[in-house]
């Protein structure tokens, strides 16, 4: 890394020019400027992504891999270049280790049915954690039900960190996979993935990491972490929805049978037999989401141009500010106080149901998420039916944190607390 | 602020602070049903004592937002002492009032004080909050077993969940 780059990384993020690149942020909601604090659900899109997608439609739209004409060649080149962008972002060894899918959920399902199902037997175990999103619970449950396997769960502490001391006891001879999130969508906890992978591998257990919440915030190196599978969604990292990627180690993908049939995943078909393409095309049945892939690559490159470290530092400041400020609001309880956190704050407020908080904040132009965040087992763990959640992106400001706090005082006033 | 005040009417806030017939399982309760909104986690159980076709007593327990709690509280007051037919008509009227932009003009007269719930019409995401207790009461009265769900599930798949806790 050059000295110039290092210098740039230490500069604080100038948020206004960043905000100027997001058309959606410049609007009023209920007569108030929009403060969009629901970034863990989806992030907004910069002009670079919008232009990349519309540019594909305006200049290059053709099906990939099939045509010999110019537009098809350009579309194919852009699509495969997008694969290269994802490879670089994750530091995968080769582009072939990147499979384009609809999102993190589809990627998990792909691994469940193509990788794990053939090697899973009755009585085997799949290990997940108590802080998983439903998308990293339900596919494994469906598999358990079919095979007669069992789901086992790594518990979390009161502060929302994984109880690592329980991990070794849960990693048994029958454990066939450990699936865990890199960053909790409901708590913000950043899990020590490298250490967990090392412990699992010591017992011969492959590891899938759900990076949906991590990729917009933290640097990623699948080789350094030695993860077997890493999945993420484009729309949570400033890219389009309906596109995401599965990273799988080359040897795993090579050994995995096709998941869905049809289209470019096929080498040749007779009515007697079909031969399949090598990965990653083996797993990309049908016409892929070309504009999604191109938009995703634009998003990853845009974030790189901003500087992930600078963005992360800015988000860390927002998190610290918001944590301090929310604690000053009477009755607020923050759920998830891990030492290592992404800029996500889940909270409850005495005498105010999260949905009332959400409605009243919306009236002030402030968008937060309320509900169980598709992590119902985790909500039960903390004894709450739901929380309100403010989640920050690099375009959020300290002024918006102050508006959130003032909004919570307004909640208290409206509800007569 | 004005439309927010329409949602959070003082009457609603008051019922939310002091819900009537809350945490009450009437003596001799012979009807009950559990209502659940999986989107937000609101859940209420309604218990009723119905004798000779009349709602002699009713109570509820559970937890929800201000709108759902107030609606449940007001529901218990509204159906207390009504005949089953009257309670059924009230359920229909409230549902009509909350889910239609132009409810039957006669509806307003039938619901009386419950009209304060109409502010919810401007907040489509909150309509289910206001109707949950009513659907649950309706199920209890009809002796429907099991769970009232604001989202109709197609199937419940279950998987053995082992240790770790």
pLDDT in tens, B38-81: 877 889 999 999 999 999 999 999 999 999 999 999 999 999 99
H-assigned helices in B18-163:
66-79, 84-99, 105-111, 127-141
B18 Cβ under 8 Å from any chain A Cβ = no
- Provide the number of structural domains found in chain B: 1
From A356, which residue of chain B is nearest by alpha-carbon distance? B65
**What strands lie across the sheet with A344-349, from one edge to the other?**
A332-335, A344-349, A387-391, A369-371
Q: How confident is the model at residue B165 (pLDDT cuts 50, 70, 90)?
A: very low
Minimum mean pLDDT range among A93-107, A140-154, A331-345, B87-101 = B87-101
pLDDT in tens, B13-28: 999 999 999 999 998 8
B148 vs chain A: nearest CA distance in angstroms?
17
Average pLDDT over residues A203-212: 98
Peptide bond into A280 cis (omega under 30): yes
Span between the terminal Cα atoms of chain A, in Å: 54
Q: What is the pTM of this model?
A: 0.91
Contacts of A142 in chain B (CB under 8 A): 157, 159
Question: Residue B157: inside a domain, yes or no?
Answer: no
B50 Cβ under 8 Å from any chain A Cβ = no
Question: Residue B27: inside a domain, yes or no?
Answer: yes
Question: Residue B73: inside a domain, yes or no?
Answer: yes
Instruction: Say whether A356 and B65 touch across the interface (CB within 8 A).
Output: yes
pLDDT in tens, B86-128: 999 999 999 998 888 777 777 777 888 888 898 898 888 889 9
Contacts of A46 (CB under 8 A, 6+ apart): A21, A22, A238, A299, A302
- Hunting for tokens 């619901």 — which residue is that? B111
Interface of B with A in 125-164 (CB under 8 A): 125-126, 129, 157-164
Asked if the model's pLDDT at residue A8 lies above 70, the reply is no
pLDDT for B158: 37
Nearest to A233 by CA among A314, A293, A307: A293
From A364, which residue of chain B is nearest by alpha-carbon distance? B1
ipTM given for this complex: 0.80
Instruction: Provide the CA B137 distance to its chain's centre, in angstroms.
Output: 6
Question: Residue B164: inside a domain, yes or no?
Answer: no
Token pair for A108 = 């998990």
Chain A residues near any Cβ of chain B (below 8 Å): 125, 130, 141-142, 144-145, 150-155, 166, 170, 352-356, 359-360, 363, 370-372, 379, 385-386, 414-416
pLDDT in tens, A325-371: 999 999 999 999 999 999 999 999 999 999 999 999 999 999 999 98
The CATH number for B28's domain is 3.90.1010.10
Separation of alpha carbons B59 and B160, rounded Å:
35
Instruction: Say whether B165 and A153 touch across the interface (CB within 8 A).
Output: yes
Separation of alpha carbons A255 and A292, rounded Å:
27
B11 Cβ under 8 Å from any chain A Cβ = no
Cβ atoms of residues A178 and A166 within 8 Å: no
Task: List the domain range (segments joined by +) for residue B29.
Answer: 1-149
Cβ atoms of residues B120 and B7 within 8 Å: yes
**Residue A330: exposure state from Cβ atoms within 10 A (0-12, 13-18, ≥19):** exposed
Instruction: Provide the CA A354 distance to its chain's centre, in angstroms.
Output: 23
Full DSSP string of A91-123: T-SSGGGEEEESSHHHHHHHIIIIIIGGG--TT
Separation of alpha carbons A24 and A415, rounded Å:
31
pLDDT in tens, A283-324: 999 999 999 999 999 999 999 999 999 999 999 999 999 999
Rounded to 10°, the helix A308-327/A3-10 angle is 20
Question: Residue B100: inside a domain, yes or no?
Answer: yes
Question: Between A and B, how many CB-CB pairs are < 8 A?
Answer: 87
Separation of alpha carbons A408 and A360, rounded Å:
8
Instruction: Say whether A145 and B159 touch across the interface (CB within 8 A).
Output: yes
Contacts of A270 (CB under 8 A, 6+ apart): none
Separation of alpha carbons B2 and B119, rounded Å:
10
Question: Residue B90: inside a domain, yes or no?
Answer: yes
Average pLDDT over residues A71-78: 94
From A170, which residue of chain B is nearest by alpha-carbon distance? B164
Separation of alpha carbons B19 and B70, rounded Å:
6
Instruction: Provide the annotated active-site residues of A.
Output: 374
Question: Residue B154: inside a domain, yes or no?
Answer: no
Instruction: Say whether B161 and A153 touch across the interface (CB within 8 A).
Output: yes
- How many C-beta neighbours within 10 Å does residue A202 have? 10
Which one has a higher pLDDT value, B162 or B29?
Answer: B29
B36 vs chain A: nearest CA distance in angstroms?
11
Contacts of A260 (CB under 8 A, 6+ apart): A283, A285, A286
Question: Residue B45: inside a domain, yes or no?
Answer: yes
């Amino acid at each position: 890394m050059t000295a110039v780059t290092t210098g740039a990384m230490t500069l604080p993020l100038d948020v206004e020019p960043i905000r100027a690149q997001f058309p959606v942020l410049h609007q009023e909601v209920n007569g108030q400027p929009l403060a969009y604090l629901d970034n863990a659900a989806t992030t907004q899109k910069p002009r670079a992504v919008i232009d990349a997608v519309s540019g594909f439609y305006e200049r290059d739209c053709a099906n990939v891999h099939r045509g010999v004409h110019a537009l098809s060649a350009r579309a194919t080149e852009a699509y495969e270049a997008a694969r290269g962008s994802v490879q670089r972002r994750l530091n995968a060894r080769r582009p072939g280790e990147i499979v384009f899918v609809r999102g993190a959920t589809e990627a998990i399902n792909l691994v469940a049915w193509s990788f794990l199902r053939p090697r899973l037997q009755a009585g085997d175990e799949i290990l997940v954690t108590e802080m998983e999103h439903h998308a990293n619970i339900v596919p494994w449950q469906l598999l358990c039900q079919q095979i007669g396997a069992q789901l086992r769960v790594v518990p979390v502490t009161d502060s929302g960190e994984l109880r690592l001391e329980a991990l070794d006891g849960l990693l048994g001879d029958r454990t066939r996979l450990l699936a865990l999130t890199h960053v909790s969508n409901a708590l913000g906890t950043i899990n020590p993935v490298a250490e967990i992978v090392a412990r699992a591998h010591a017992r011969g257990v492959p590891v899938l990491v759900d990076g949906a919440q991590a990729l917009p915030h933290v640097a990623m190196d699948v080789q350094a972490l030695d993860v077997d599978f890493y999945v993420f969604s484009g729309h949570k990292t400033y890219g389009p929805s309906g596109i995401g990627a599965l990273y799988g180690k080359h040897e795993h993908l090579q050994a995995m049978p096709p998941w869905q049939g049809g289209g470019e995943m096929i080498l040749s078909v007779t009515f007697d037999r079909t031969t399949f393409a090598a990965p990653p095309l083996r797993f990309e049945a049908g016409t892929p989401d070309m504009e999604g892939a191109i938009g995703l690559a634009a998003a990853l490159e845009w974030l790189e141009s901003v500087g992930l470290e600078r963005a992360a530092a800015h988000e860390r400041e927002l998190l610290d500010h918001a944590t301090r400020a929310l604690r000053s609001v009477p009755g607020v309880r923050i759920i998830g106080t891990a030492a290592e956190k992404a800029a996500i704050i889940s909270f409850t407020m005495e005498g105010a149901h999260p949905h009332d908080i959400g409605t009243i904040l919306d009236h002030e132009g402030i968008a937060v998420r309320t509900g169980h965040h598709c992590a119902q087992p985790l909500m039960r763990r903390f004894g709450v039916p739901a929380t309100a959640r403010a989640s920050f992106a690099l375009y959020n400001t300290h002024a918006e944190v102050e508006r959130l706090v003032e909004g919570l005082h307004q909640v208290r006033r409206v509800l007569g607390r | 602020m004005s439309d927010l005040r329409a949602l959070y009417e003082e009457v609603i806030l008051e019922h939310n602070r002091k819900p009537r017939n809350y945490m009450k399982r009437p003596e001799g309760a012979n009807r009950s049903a559990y209502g659940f909104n999986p989107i937000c986690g609101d859940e209420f159980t309604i218990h009723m004592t119905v004798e000779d076709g009349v709602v002699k007593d009713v109570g509820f327990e559970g937890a929800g937002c201000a709108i759902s709690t107030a609606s449940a509280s007001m529901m218990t007051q509204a159906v207390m002492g009504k005949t089953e037919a009257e309670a059924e008509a009230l359920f229909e009227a409230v549902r009509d009032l909350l889910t239609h932009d132009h409810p039957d003009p006669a509806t307003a007269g039938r619901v009386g004080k419950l009209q304060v719930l109409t502010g919810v019409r401007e907040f489509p995401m909150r309509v289910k909050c206001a109707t949950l207790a009513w659907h649950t009461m309706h199920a209890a009265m009809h002796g429907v077993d099991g769970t009232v769900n604001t989202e109709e599930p197609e199937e419940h798949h279950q998987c053995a969940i082992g240790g770790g806790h």
